[in-house]
Amino acid sequence: MPESPGRTITKKELVDRIAFELDQTKLVVRHVVQQFLNEISAELAAGNRIEFREFGVFEVRQRGRRRGQLPQLLVSAKDEGDAPAKQMERVVKFRPGRALRELGEPDGPTPAAQRPAPTPPRPEAPAVRPAPPKPPPSTPGSPF
């Protein structure tokens, strides 16, 4: 049975909670939260990556080509082809950090003793160029 998504928490509710916890006015906290969100938005709009250790990473990616129908370009609407990437379509991706991933585990955080040992990095193979392909044997009278 799928889990319910939970309830929606608004910025106003977060501001109220933070103001209460820090014993600050809601006006000051609302200004700080809004400025924080503005800075994140500005950095993402500039194409920068934002990393909050243990929490997660926000980054902007260009959406690539996708499979789809192109009725205006194809003979039949049922024909499929590569739809072009939307011009300047950028999407924000979020990858959760370790702290968030551990919150999502069914039994809570995994103790360090039970975590699998990290795998050692693979040694890099030396860069070797493959030999160029051999040309096919030529036949007499052939232009190739």
CB 109 within 8 A of CB 102: yes
Which has more confidence, 116 or 41? 41
In a domain? residue 54: no
In a domain? residue 30: yes
| Confidence at residue 137, expressed as pLDDT on a 0 to 100 scale | 65
In a domain? residue 129: no
In a domain? residue 23: yes
- The residues with which 61 forms a beta bridge, in sequence order, are 91
How many residues are there in the chain? 144
The rounded mean pLDDT for the chain is 76
- pLDDT(77) > 50: no
48-62, 84-98, 110-124: least confidently modelled range: 110-124
**H/E element holding 38?**
helix 26-45
In a domain? residue 59: no
- Measured between alpha carbons, how far is 13 from 18 in angstroms, rounded to an integer? 9
pTM for this entry: 0.55
Structurally, how many domains does the chain consist of? Answer: 1
In a domain? residue 102: no
- pLDDT(120) > 90: no
What range defines the domain where residue 42 resides?
Answer: 7-46
The 10s digit of each residue's pLDDT in 12-64 is: 999 999 999 999 999 999 999 999 999 999 999 898 999 999 899 999 887 77
* Residue whose structure tokens are 């990616």: 61
- Measured between alpha carbons, how far is 96 from 27 in angstroms, rounded to an integer? 30
What's the number of CA atoms in the CB half-sphere (13 Å) around residue 103?
A: 8
- Measured between alpha carbons, how far is 106 from 2 in angstroms, rounded to an integer? 14
